[in-house]
Structure 1
Amino acid sequence: MTTAPILAAQDAEDLEVLSARLQDAVAKVGDLKYLPKKRRFVAVVNRFQWENGARTNLRVRSGLHFDGVLSVKSKNIKMGAPGAVLSLLAIRFTPVGDGSENPGGKVELTFSGGGAMQLEVECLDAALADLAGPWAARGRPNHADNEFEDE
């Protein structure tokens, strides 16, 4: 099996690329972990392969991590329900200052249904890699009416 290329993000523009790749990714709450001793946040998700074009409905298992994470907060997510499924809508970075003196900031992962996670980071340092080959998805996310088709 060939190793998938790793996409890295070290600024807000890079993170927009990762966010686009991860739009409509689904994950179980238990697959989102903060490792405080390593100052790392990791997520294993099943992402929709938007980059393959409009004619394919494929998902792929992917790993995402952020390094230099100082804290993680969640809102409207049942962290005590590891089997609950979340659908990722977007990831955004808000710097603390102008970025020259302090490269830190906040990374927000926004999920459908009003859930969100906020990572306080020393600097933006993220990477995404596919972990397995793609498989056929039963449906396609539909953004015309903010509803999702069966998966």
Structure 2
Amino acid sequence: MSKYLAKIIANDQEGLQMISACSSGAKVKVTDIKYLSSNKVFLLSIERTKIETDQEGKKINSICRFDFVDKVRSKNINQLNKDLVLELIGIDYLKNNDDYEINLIFNNNAHIALTTETIEARLEDQNEIK
């Protein structure tokens, strides 16, 4: 089965767009969003539908990881509501002087902005949801 598990590594706009396309519509629990500030790692555990293979329509658990993240800001996300499930609409970024701001855009006008010195993102499938 593991041959269907994707691993996409992005360090530019194209790669980020690919990750964005693959994770569009993914479900994310608030409890599955983590920022490890000492490691500058931002993790998102998502449940997504495979679009990039002939396995289309299969649900899969994936980890979306961003490295070199200096700062995280969220908007319109109630972090105390542990059962809250967000839907990831897409990922884009802005270049800001020497930094990038990577925006994770969710439904209900919620978003998370990551300030990072370089684009270093990966989407790694964990397992299929039966």
SS in 2 for 1:79: coil
User: 1:134: how far off?
Assistant: 4.5
> How far did 1:80 drift?
1.3
The residue type paired with residue 22 of structure 1 is: S
Task: Report the counterpart of residue 112 of structure 1 in structure 2.
Answer: 107
- Counterpart CA distance in 2 for 1:125 and 1:12 is 10
Equivalent pair of 1:29/1:86 in contact (CA under 8 Å): yes
Which structure 1 residue ranges, 5 or more long, are not aligned?
A: 136-151
Distance 2:56 2:18 in 1: 20
Cα RMSD (Å):
1.7
Would you say how many aligned residue pairs link Structure 1 and Structure 2? 129
Report how far residue 95 of structure 1 moved. 1.2
Relative to its length, the structure with more strand (as a share) is: 2
What's the CA shift for 1:6? 1.6
The alignment's TM-score, normalised by the length of structure 2, stands at 0.91
1:41 positional shift = 0.2
Name the structure 2 match of 1:63: 63
What aligned pairs does 1:87-98 form with structure 2 within 5 A after superposition? Answer: 87-97=87-97
Give the 3-state SS of the residue equivalent to 1:81 in structure 2.
coil
Report if aligned partners of 2:44, 2:63 keep a CA contact under 8 Å in 1: yes
Identity rate, percent: 29
**TM-score, normalization: structure 1?**
0.79
C-alpha distance in 2 between matches for 1:90 and 1:130 = 17
- 1:46 correspondence with 2:41: no
The one-letter code sitting in structure 2 at the alignment partner of 1:127 is: R
Q: Which runs of 4+ in 1 moved over 3 A?
A: none
Q: Which has the higher contact order (CA 8 A, sep 6+)?
A: 2
Asked which structure has the greater CA Rg, the reply is 1
- The equivalent of 1:8 in structure 2 is 9
Give the superposition deviation at 1:5: 3.7
Structure-1 separation of matches of 2:7 and 2:61: 13
The amino acid across from 1:95 in the alignment is K
C-alpha distance 68-15 of structure 1, shift in aligned 2 (>3 A): same
